[in-house]
Amino acid sequence: MDKDKIKKILERYPFVERENLIPILQDIQYEYGYLTEEAIKEVGNYLKLPSSKIYSVATFYSKFRFRPKGRFHIRLCRGTSCQIKGAANLEKKVYKLLNIENGETTGEGMFSLELVACMGACGLGPVMAVNEEYYTEITEDRLEEIVKGYKEIEDYI
């Protein structure tokens, strides 16, 4: 992790105000995919806040990650509409196939799973996305197919 990049992010916020904490953390996460220990310390130095305070804020919000994303980041919609259409079983299926839960990454760094509150396509549920590719009206079988497809890509590389 290079410090210059973090510095550049911090320069976007010229005022040392606590108000900027969450936006700064979001920018860092956008850049790196997750929050590293060093990044939290750097932000602390800049905003003159103890790292523990920053960590307490970052852990409160569900969007911050502390582990890197996998090569294929799976986002699964867990909105009410998708729940009624059977998304709970899909979550179990992902666990069965990849042995990961929300926020986790597989050992070799291939897949990671994120449960999303609502993806905004309730009419087409259950919805899931792998990186930027969207899949609608997913069933357990289709989920298995999709995951298999990505596994093959990975093997090929």
Partner 1 sequence: MATLKEDTNKDMLIQALLEGEIGELDHKDRETLARIKCDKITRPLIALSYNTASIIAGADKTYNAIRNYLEERDIDAFLKTIGSLGLTTIEPLMDVQLPGKARVTFSRVYPERVSDILDAVFNNFISEEYVLGQHPNDLHEPWESIPRIDELSFFQSQQRYILKNCGRIAPESIDEYIAHGGYRSFLMSIRNHTPEELCDLVEESRLRGRGGEGYPTGKKWKNTLNAPADKRFLICNAGESDPGAFMERMIMESDPHSLVESLGIASYAIGAQKAYIYLESEYEMASRRLQKAIDQARHYGLLGHDIFSSGFNLNIQLHQGAGAYVCGEETALIASLEGKRGMPRPKPPYPSHKGLHNNPTVVNNMETLLNVPVIVRHGPAWYKQTGTVKSSGTKVFSLSGKIERSGLVEVPMGTSLREVVYKIGGGLPDNKELKGLLIGGPAGGALTYENLDTPIDYEELKDKGCTLGSGAVVVMDEEGCILDTVKYYMHLLKKESCGKCIPCREGTRRMYEILENITQRPQEENGTFTLQRFKGVINLEKLAYVVRDTSLCGLGQRAANPILSTISAFREEYEEHIFERRCRAGVCQELSTFYIDVDKCTGCTICAQKCPTGAIVGSTKKPHFIVQERCIGCGICYESCKFGAIVRK
Q: Site residues (CB under 8 A) for partner 1? A: 17-23, 25-26, 56-57, 60-64, 78-81, 83-85, 88, 116-125, 127, 129, 134, 136
Which one-letter amino acid corresponds to residue 156?
A: Y
Q: At closest approach, how far in Å is the CB of 36 from partner 1?
A: 17
Let me know: does 67 contact 103? Beta carbons within 8 Å. yes
Residue 135, CB-side half-sphere exposure with 13 Å CA sphere:
19
Alpha carbon 19 to chain centroid, angstroms = 23
Nearer to partner 1, 110 or 116 (CB): 116
Q: Give which of 157, 155, 108, 148 is closest to 130, Cα–Cα.
A: 148
- Going from the C-alpha of 143 to that of each of 29, 124, 126, 140, 156, the distances in angstroms are 28, 15, 11, 5, 20
Residue among 113, 23, 118 nearest 78 (CA) = 118
- Toward partner 1, which CB reaches closer, 84 or 109? 84
Of 83 and 106, the one with the shorter C-beta distance to partner 1 is 83
Smallest distance from partner 1 to CB 3, Å: 22
- The C-alpha atoms of residue 73 and residue 70 are separated, in whole angstroms, by 6
Q: How far is the CB of 151 from partner 1 (least distance, A)?
A: 20
Measured from the CB atom, is 51 or 83 closer to partner 1? 83
Nearest to partner 1 of 102, 154 (CB atom): 102
Provide, rounded to whole angstroms, the least separation between the CB of residue 108 and partner 1: 26
CB of 144 to partner 1, least distance (A): 11
